Amino acid sequence: MTFRKYLVLAGVTIFGACGDSLLSYGMRQTGNVSLHHLGSVVTAVLNPWVALGIVLLLCFFASWMTALSWADLTYALPATSLGYVVLALIARFALHERVSPWRWLGIVLISSGVSLVAGGPALTSHKRHDHTVEPAESDPVSSARSAAS
């Protein structure tokens, strides 16, 4: 794992959490969207918070796909689940919602899961599905690491 790869994982986490909270903040201003009033979808998308949230979620999807190009699904999924924690912290400190003791326990459980997996090897499936592409792991540090484990 290089610094740049950790940066991509951080991007998945931050973009996802910020995009979701911007979306819910904006949707609270615009009100409910229903299939019967399709005009309300347009109003919602024109709200600047919702629009910014959608842009951030597109960034989230791009960095998620980048991460999956060099990491296992079973690595990337827990490693980026800190987003739930960021989301709860945003809810607590920016949106001033109450966070119950059970939710704090949830935060602790997620964080310990993330710390378990994040230090380990990112890629274990060496079976290539397409032989025309170059090897996924060609930087010496991470190949040595995945070979050692």
Partner 1 sequence: MKHVYTWTGILLVTLASVVGDVLIARAMKQVGDVHHLWRSAGVWTVVGRVLKNRLFFLGLFAMAAAFFSLLFALSWGDVSLVVPATSSLSFIGTTFAAKLFLHEKVDHRRWIAALLVASGVALLAG
Q: Applying CB under 8 A, does 117 fall inside the site for partner 1? A: yes
Measured from the CB of residue 127, what is the shortest distance to partner 1 in angstroms?
5
- What would the two tokens of residue 136 be? 């996924």
List binders of partner 1 among 71-110 (CB under 8 A). Answer: 72-78, 81, 84-85, 88, 102-103, 105-110
Minimum separation from the CB atom of position 23 to partner 1 (A): 13
Interface map 37-76 toward partner 1 (x if CB under 8 A): ---------------------------xxx-xxx-xxxxx
Among 3, 133, 140, 148, interactor with partner 1 by CB under 8 A: 133
Instruction: Tell the smallest beta-carbon distance from residue 104 to partner 1 (Å).
Output: 9
> Cβ of residue 64: shortest distance to partner 1, in angstroms?
8
What is the distance between the alpha carbons of residues 54 and 77, in angstroms, rounded to a whole number? Answer: 21
Nearest-angstrom CA–CA distance, 109 and 132: 41
